[in-house]
A and B are shown apart, each in its own frame.
Chain A
Amino acid sequence: MKNQIINDEFISRLETMTLHMQSPMQGYFGGNHRTNKYGSTVEFADFREYMLGDDIRRIDWNLYSRFEKYFIKLFVDERQMHLQLFLDCSASMHKGNSNKSIYALKTIAAIGFLSVQNMDKTSVRLIKGDFADDLCGLITGKESFYRAMSLLEDSDFHGTANIENAIINCPGMGSNDGLTVIVSDFLTESNWKKAVDYLLYKNRQIMLIQVLSPEEINPAFSGRMHFKDSEASDPLDERNMKMKITRSNLTAYKQALADYIADIKIFCTKRGVLFFSVNCDDPIEKLIFGDLYEMGTIR
């Protein structure tokens, strides 16, 4: 499936933004993300009294001339983040409304671009079944990013996606070295909350982006409906259900959805996880330059 993800105009706007970590991380050497430690960047951080073993090239001779004591300069340490992007590639992300998958891809692309632009490591994994398939390894630099995007354009959405198993079983998760973004509709029985807790255990910062279609937010069905779940493997699957759509049923649906989203929000808030629930018919700019900017995730 060929999906056109982001255009040049959108990229030009993204180039003015950077991805900002909510909290200090350990990360990798050579990035743009500050840490609480002192490193070897050129940005002055602080002075410290010379101790035996320190590099004598760091001694600030101006201070010596003034105080006749030896002080060394300390510099800010900036590390490289590892951004992990997980995309739910289950059938529910595409069936019913293809805009949903396109929106999800755009979200992955936008955040991935921000990361790459920030010279952070980026990896894109496609959750299919119980595994998260690595799209194209680590993405560093814009060239490899565009290469990854072209691969992303070809991704298809089918079957189920077990977020819990995919993330927990994902190799090379890393620890305290970056942000994990999961883009899904989270309309699944799988215990994705366990995956989030696992990521928290790994000291990763987490962002959950729930993409919903207008039909999911505000269904407009009537009469007697036989709903066939896009992820149901056969007609007798228990996820398929019959229902007479009445006003009370629609009210109940909306209430159930609202309560579900609220439940996710509470879960995320308690854990310091960022959560955004978006309508795929809304422009992507609203998420990136609106919600994420307001939260301070991008600057």
Chain B
Amino acid sequence: MKLGLPLGLLGLLAIAILLLIYILKPKYQEQSVSSTYVWRLSLKYKKAKLPFQWLKSSLLLILQLTILIMISASLARPFIVLDSKSSEKIIILEASASMLAEDAGGTTRFDRAVNEIIKLCDQIDGKERITVILADDSAKYLVRRESSTGFIKQHVLSSVCAFVAPDLDGAINLAQSVLNENPSSEIVLYTARKYNDSGNIIVKNMAASEWNAAILNFSSERVNGYFNFTANIAVYGKNIDKLAVAFYIDGLLIDTSFITCKDEKATSVVFRHTKKVSYSNAHIILEANDSFLYDNSFYLFDGDADKFKVQLVSDTPYLLRTILNVIGKTKIDEIRATPEDIGGVTVYPPDPKYSGYDLYIFHGYTPLILPNDGAVWIIAPQIHTVIEGSGETDNHLVFGGEDFVSSDSTLSAAGEGTLSDTYLQIMDEISATDITISRYVALESYGGYERLLNYDNHPVLLTKTDNGVKIIVFAFDYHDSNLPITIFWPALINNLSNYSLRNTTMNHIYDAGSKVELNARPGTTHMKLNTADEQSQQFTQFPASINVEYPGIYTVEQTPENYAKTDNFFVRVPESESNFGRNGGTLKQVFAISNPSIDSTLDNETYDIMIYLVAALALILAIEWGVQYREQY
């Protein structure tokens, strides 16, 4: 209800005057009588006090106060504003995951909201302008200040709900922009939440009696060498005494646990004693027929701890092997670089492989060919000159040079001026001037390599990326330096590992709507992404970036030159969207800036209630007159 003349409420001041009259007027009239004897006797004849007797004695005052209040209300010209005749409507359609909850008939909240908007369009039938804002993870206009019903319906019907948290603030900002153009616009929000304070936004809650059983989180932890798995589960909108949780590892059912979920509180369930030291995938499934199934399963793909396969060709692999194991990202296959004399018998090591590994480390060994499906570290290469006509490939790995016994100079950063990003990444936390070497190979030609460290103007640490393959060349053996006994040794190997070995994706779990960067393995020319909604995308440029909208398992297939590699990651529904009962709190306020050129009052249909007020006033006046008469006579 609104007031046409709020100043009319000043009439309420008369209440103070009335009360003053009651206070000031003589309460008791003095009357001299011959005797009060009979009056005193009559007190015994009065009826027993009933509850609220005071109300009866104050009835006249109450009636008079009511009359004054009603007169004031009448002066204020009250009327009821009907909400169906606004000149323009701004509709915010929430397109979040919770709007995808289905009712018993399979209709989602989003569908119901769309139907209501369509009905509204039919009602208005082009007489008013409508703006529809879709509030998914990034609010946008579907239509802006349009009056064409067909156009509006087409865009509304083609809108899609996402598995994301809604950007309502952004949507309200867009609504504010329209409101600034027409302050008399009415803003309607179709949502699935209640709000404590929605300000002047009309909230239409599309929630029916849906309920949701959700896996909020699922993780693994290595305890005493074996994996334990922990899940957080909650049920919203219902209490369940026995909810079945099935747990699988690598496709095999390991255990089924039954939990109780009440009062919308999260419950933890832990699967221990799995006797698993590694796994490819682990997942849990809730056996519940709720209104929203997209958060009823959860997958983990980090059981192999991202182990990169490393081939280490070295006669003295101990130092490198140790430090790589400490870093923990690698699984190392070792091969001797040179034949070994065992009991007078010369044992020839197997030939190194040039494919199938993520990292090839050649220590004191010059590879015949350069692998192209993984990173390559060449440490202290043998000097080798390609003999013309020998058939060996001139792979530009090492070009001439002789051993030099150095003086005791330390290394220094190569290059002048600003250090490159590569240098900064590899030499992070490492002080070059604290590294000394006693022996190195002077490289005469190193086409295309970036020099990272110098010794006496000779490059001793170089890097190059060739067709996606990252190559690191140490022109010295770390045994001929003080590196292994410095604090820089683990940092250097860790930096080199991070530089050389990159996962296809940074994480294995993403929220729907987030951006995922896909890194290709060395030598990958082609990457195929199979999405959870059974679509596929192809990539040839790397790193590739995608927005994952749909919850579920995503598979990345890479085809480096010699083998195919598959990586998986899981996209989940944001935890906030699983909570169906969550209160939206307070909506961002919108302000209608008064525009004198628009007469907003004409646009609203009003219903005058003055007649009812006056009728009630007349009735109360009659009652008050009756009470007065009764009291006096």
Which positions in A face B, CB cutoff 8 Å? 91-97, 100, 185, 187-189, 213, 215-216, 221-231, 239-244, 246-249, 251-253, 255-257, 259-260
Contact = CB atoms under 8 A, between A and B. Distances in A.
A231 B28 contact: no
B47 interface: yes
A249 B40 CA distance: 11
B38 A216 contact: yes
Nearest to B27: A224
B44 A187 contact: no
A252 B35 contact: no
A249 B31 contact: no
Contacts of A188: 35, 37
Given A252-B45, A256-B44, A96 B33 contact: yes
B28 A252 contact: no
Enumerate the 9 nearest inter-chain pairs by beta-carbon distance, A residue then B residue, closest first.
Answer: A252-B45, A226-B28, A187-B35, A256-B42, A96-B34, A256-B41, A92-B34, A252-B42, A187-B37
B39 to A, nearest CB: 6
Nearest to B631: A246
Contacts of B40: 239, 241
A95 B39 contact: no
B427 to A, nearest CB: 101
A241 B632 contact: no
B46 interface: yes
Contacts of B28: 224-226, 242
B32 A95 contact: yes
A89 to B, nearest CB: 13
A185 to B, nearest CB: 7
B57 interface: yes
Contact of A256 (B35, B38, B47, B630): B38
Interface string B13-43: 0000000000000011111111111111111
Nearest to B46: A252
Contacts of A185: 34-35
Nearest to B40: A241
Given A226-B28, A244-B57, A256-B45, A100 B34 contact: yes
Interface-central residue, B34, B45, B632, by most chain A CB under 10 Å: B34
A18 B298 CA distance: 126
Contacts of B34: 91-97, 100, 185, 187, 213, 215-216, 230
B291 to A, nearest CB: 65
Contacts of A224: 27-29
Given A241-B36, A256-B42, A227 B31 contact: yes
A268 B161 CA distance: 102
B35 A231 contact: yes
B616 to A, nearest CB: 27
A268 B196 CA distance: 81
A213 B31 CA distance: 16
Contacts of A260: 38, 41
B612 interface: no
A250 B32 CA distance: 17
**Taking each of B40, B42, B47, B631, which has the highest tally of chain A beta carbons within 10 Å of its own beta carbon?**
B42
A167 to B, nearest CB: 19
A80 to B, nearest CB: 37
B33 A227 contact: yes
Interface in B344-363: none
A188 B33 CA distance: 13
A246 B56 CA distance: 12
Nearest to B25: A224
Contact of B37 (A189, A225, A248, A259): A189
B44 to A, nearest CB: 7
B633 interface: yes
A249 B46 CA distance: 7
A229 B632 contact: no
Contacts of B631: 222-223, 246-247
A244 B54 CA distance: 13
Given A224-B27, A255-B45, A256-B44, A243 B39 contact: yes
A215 B27 CA distance: 22
Given A252-B45, A255-B45, A260-B41, A216 B35 contact: yes
A246 B28 CA distance: 13
B29 A225 contact: yes
Interface string B44-86: 1111000000000100000000000000000000000000000
Given A93-B34, A229-B37, 10 more contacts: A225-B28, A226-B28, A228-B32, A228-B33, A239-B36, A243-B39, A247-B630, A253-B39, A255-B42, A257-B38
Contacts of B57: 244
A66 B17 CA distance: 108
Contacts of B39: 227, 241, 243, 253
Contacts of A229: 33, 35-37
Contacts of B30: 225-226, 228
Contacts of B38: 187, 216, 253, 256-257, 260
17 contacts: A91-B34, A93-B34, A100-B34, A185-B34, A187-B38, A223-B631, A224-B27, A224-B28, A224-B29, A227-B32, A247-B631, A252-B42, A253-B38, A253-B45, A256-B38, A257-B38, A257-B41
B396 to A, nearest CB: 119
Contacts of B27: 224
Contact of B42 (A215, A240, A242, A253): A253
B196 to A, nearest CB: 50
Contacts of A222: 631-633
A185 B37 CA distance: 11
A240 B34 CA distance: 11
A144 to B, nearest CB: 32
Nearest to B28: A226
A248 B47 CA distance: 9
Nearest to A222: B632
Contacts of A95: 32-34
A230 B45 contact: no
A153 B633 CA distance: 39
B29 A226 contact: yes
Contacts of A187: 34-35, 37-38
A229 B41 CA distance: 14
A251 B43 CA distance: 11
A240 B631 CA distance: 22
Contacts of A231: 35
A253 B42 CA distance: 5
A215 B31 CA distance: 12
Interface in B596-633: 630-633
Most buried by B among A97, A187, A249: A187
Contacts of A239: 35-37, 40
A187 B45 CA distance: 18
Between B37, B630, B631, the greatest number of chain A beta carbons within 10 A of the residue's beta carbon is seen for B37
A221 B31 contact: yes
A239 B43 CA distance: 13
A45 to B, nearest CB: 50
Contacts of A230: 32-35
Nearest to A240: B36
A265 B279 CA distance: 115
Contacts of A256: 38, 41-42, 44-45
A228 B31 contact: yes
A179 B46 CA distance: 40
A193 B34 CA distance: 21
Interface string B373-399: 000000000000000000000000000
B253 to A, nearest CB: 86
Q: Could you say which of B28, B39, B41 has the most chain A C-beta atoms within 10 Å of its C-beta? A: B39
B310 to A, nearest CB: 105
A92 B34 CA distance: 4
A226 to B, nearest CB: 4
Contact of A227 (B36, B44, B46): B36
Nearest to B43: A252
